[in-house]
Amino acid sequence: MKGSKTLKELHALANTVRRVYNLMRYTTDQLHAGSGITAPKRTLLMDLERYGPQTVPALAESRRISRQIIQTQVNELKAAGYLESRPNPEHKRSKRIALTAAGREQVDRMLATENAFLETLDWLPEDAALAECREVLESICEGLIGDPTELENRGSSSAKQEEAGR
């Protein structure tokens, strides 16, 4: 078991990550307000740019959210001309979702807008500090991802233990 100081620091880090996420989400929503691209849609476009075409279930699983939420975002981004469905050689019915040329152009525009904004800030940390922070956060993600059913089982057994103690 980890020491209470380590656990306290991990909780503090989680709260800071939430604050940063909320601030970044608000900022990107403001920066892209005229484009109709919300922070969740931006993340979807950026992930498809970084990792290539994926199925809706894979996109949902990587975010630990419902397939229906991703499908709604995909449908809206398809209607805007930013995404398209492509055949999936691994599955007949589950198509791969990919950026269109317009989608790639939109990603480039978003990054240019965000970079222009970031250039106006005086607080940007050094590259090495950002890389170290990213590595720590990725390590935490890897530790938390594990087997989703294992997490569900741990949660339900904790709830059962609490109920049994009443």
**Considering the entire predicted model, what is its pTM?**
0.77
pLDDT at 142: 85
**Model confidence pLDDT, tens digit, residues 92-151:** 788 999 999 999 999 999 999 999 999 999 888 899 999 999 999 988 888 887 655 554
**Both tokens assigned to 75:** 């449908």
**Model confidence pLDDT, tens digit, residues 50-107:** 999 999 999 999 888 999 999 999 999 999 999 999 999 888 788 999 999 999 999 9
Asked if 56 contacts 70 with a C-beta cutoff of 8 angstroms, the reply is: yes
Q: What percent of the chain has a predicted confidence (pLDDT) above 70?
A: 86
If one counts every other C-beta atom within 10 angstroms of the C-beta of residue 82, the result is: 24
Instruction: Please tell me whether residue 82 adopts helix, strand or coil conformation.
Output: coil
Backbone phi, then psi, for 115, in 5-degree steps?
-65, -40
Q: Which CATH number fits domain 4-124: 1.50.10.20, 1.10.150.20, 1.10.10.10, 3.40.50.720?
A: 1.10.10.10
pLDDT at 146: 67
Domain range summary for the chain, segments of one domain joined by +: 4-124, 127-166
Helical axes 4-31 vs 39-51, angle rounded to 10°: 100
pLDDT at 149: 52
Instruction: Look at residue 160 and tell me whether its pLDDT is greater than 50.
Output: no
126 conformational bin, left if phi > 0, alpha if psi -120 to 50, beta if neither: beta
Helix (H) or strand (E) holding 100: none
Residue 88 pairs in a beta bridge with 91
